[in-house]
Amino acid sequence: VLRPQFERKKIKVDTQIMFDESVSIKTYPSALKRAIINILSNACHFAPENSTVTTEALMKNGNIILRIADQGPGLSYEDQKNIFKFFYSRRPGGTGIGLALAKTAIEHCKGTITFLESPDKKGACFVITIPISL
């Protein structure tokens, strides 16, 4: 869905899946897909040209953990406190609903989403945790 946008900015998407892909998770597929698209759309918007967006998926403690990280400007402390609130946006022309809807969708799947700051305070990193179906 977002490939043309990433190609236009010459952003490489590096994806690593570190578990058996046949694992089942408790989720609503369309909700989770929409959440991931919203996060990747932001990553594409804020990441500089010729950079890399990294996506990693692993299994840990009965959960699937998905990490999406870009090499953009990162988030201020104020932004970190507000990014999941409806109508809060740093994106020019943004509506402020993308990350709020992503959070709602992920919580509907009994999961969580958090922001992690990189050590050099550059780039955004979102971590989604979804329980594995038993």
What was the pLDDT predicted at 43?
A: 92
Note the pLDDT of residue 134: 52
Q: What is the model's pTM? A: 0.88
Phi-psi region of 74 (alpha: psi -120 to 50; beta: other; left: phi over 0): left
Helix (H) or strand (E) holding 38: helix 29-46
Segments of the chain scoring below 70 in pLDDT: 26, 118-121, 134
Q: DSSP letter for 90, please.
A: -
Q: Are strands 52-60 and 63-69 parallel, antiparallel or unpaired?
A: antiparallel
pLDDT tens column, 73-97 = 888 888 889 999 999 887 778 888 8
Q: What is the pLDDT of residue 53?
A: 94
- Residue 26 is predicted with a pLDDT of 67
